[in-house]
Structure 1
């Protein structure tokens, strides 16, 4: 297990370098002057522009800019925004909020999605199965901003069950509705994935053998069928954690959540490339670590998978 983990960590290095360079190249190759608008309606003085470009290494060739940036990242320094604020400080505050939101969304989609998928997979063609299929199709068909706005209107404003906006109060209760909205689409896909996998495994030879041996239905489903059906589900959840953190921009905007999504959106609007690159770099690291954890969990779910 240790050798496998070490090997995977080493394999992450070229992935991180390649992904971050691609992001860096795309962001800093965009046309436009990063000093535009920083001196009001008037053009900035030449001395200010020269100092600005020197401070942020904008006069260097792109590979050298990237090398200097990554040298700081290795030391935990993501640089400064174009407004002189340490990006690592901003990310440390906002990342906690986004990670909390994404973690809650992941837990909601895992619990509800797996439960709905199991109930539908065990009763294919029945009322619960049809209900799951129709409801998940409806959720998948709706854009996330429609789901968020509708639930905010009916559950937040009219029913007053949840706060309409989160703001600085990123408590568990305040984030509950945004977390459900964020994970709603993934929940629907997860329920369908679980239903399909469980339905296939129920008809497998090893399940018929287990029943022929006299094992009870809960043991057949809980120990044999469910365990094998969870392998692709865990894969999906590992991928989705990174997707939830990176795709929280719309949800954070609807509910006024001070997270990484809003920070990236503000950086794009302000043409603050170093903010965008810093936030995306942190999300890449989270995504890779989540996938490593998923790979390690395979061995627990299926003893046939060895990491030696």
Structure 2
């Protein structure tokens, strides 16, 4: 087990270097002047521009810029953005909010998606099965910002059941609706994936053998079929967590949530490469660690999977 974890940690190193290199190159090769708008309506003085480019290594060759950046990242320094704000401090304030939003979305997609998938798989061809398939297809087809605006208007404004925007004095309550919106498409995918795998496993020989030996159908489904059916579902949920962190930009802007998504959007809009690369670097690290945890969870769900 420990050798497997160490091997996976070593495999993360080239992934981190490769992903940050690509992001760094894409961001700093974008056209535009990062000093534009920093001095009001007038262009900045040549002396200010020269000092600014010197402080942020913008005149250095690209390999030198990247080497200096990664040297700082190794020490835990994500750099200071073009507004003279440390990226680590800004992310430290915003990541707990976005992380909480993503975790709540994961809970929604896990609980609702798996329960809907089980009901649909067990009652294959019945009313509940058709209802789940049609409703999930509808959710997948509708863009997330449309679902957000609809729930914001009807649930928040018309019915008054939830805050329309983020409220710092009621953070958990005001994140419930955005979390559901963020995880809505994933709920549909989890439900359909659970249903497909459960139906396939219910036709397997080992389930029929277990039932023929006297095991109740409920126990055969819960103990045998579900464990094997959840392996691809857990894979999807683990991969989706990183996607939820990065995909929260739209949801955070709809509900005015001061999270990582808004910070990343501001960095792209202002051509602030340091903010963008620092944010994406942390996203990559979180994504890799979550997927390592998911790989270790495989052994719990299916004893045939070994990490020795």
For 1:220 and 1:91, locate their aligned partners in 2 and report how far apart those are by CA, in whole Å.
47
For 1:167 and 1:277, locate their aligned partners in 2 and report how far apart those are by CA, in whole Å.
29
Which residue in the other structure is 1:226 paired with?
226
Q: Does the 8 Å CA contact 1:245/1:283 hold for their aligned counterparts? A: yes
**1:169 Cα shift?**
4.0
For 1:162 and 1:58, locate their aligned partners in 2 and report how far apart those are by CA, in whole Å.
46
Which residue in the other structure is 2:217 paired with?
217
Seen in structure 2, the aligned counterparts of structure 1 residues 170 and 26 have a Cα distance that, compared at 3 Å, is farther
Which residue in the other structure is 2:29 paired with?
29
Consecutive unaligned residues of structure 2, counting only runs of 5 or more, are: none
**1:168 Cα shift?**
2.9
Q: Does the 8 Å CA contact 1:167/1:256 hold for their aligned counterparts? A: no
Which residue in the other structure is 2:171 paired with?
171
Which residue in the other structure is 2:48 paired with?
48
- Count of paired positions: 308
For 1:292 and 1:250, locate their aligned partners in 2 and report how far apart those are by CA, in whole Å.
27
**1:63 Cα shift?**
1.0
* 1:58 has 2:38 as partner: no
Which residue in the other structure is 2:139 paired with?
139
Q: CA RMSD in A?
A: 0.8
For 1:115 and 1:193, locate their aligned partners in 2 and report how far apart those are by CA, in whole Å.
12
TM-score by length of 2: 0.99
Q: Deviations over 1:60-104 (max 9, x none)?
A: 111111111111111111111111011100001100100000000
Q: Deviations over 1:174-232 (max 9, x none)?
A: 10000000000010011000000000000000001101110011210111000000000
Q: Secondary structure at the match of 2:206?
A: helix
Consecutive unaligned residues of structure 1, counting only runs of 5 or more, are: none
**1:167 Cα shift?**
4.2
For 1:270 and 1:155, locate their aligned partners in 2 and report how far apart those are by CA, in whole Å.
34
Q: Does the 8 Å CA contact 1:81/1:87 hold for their aligned counterparts? A: yes
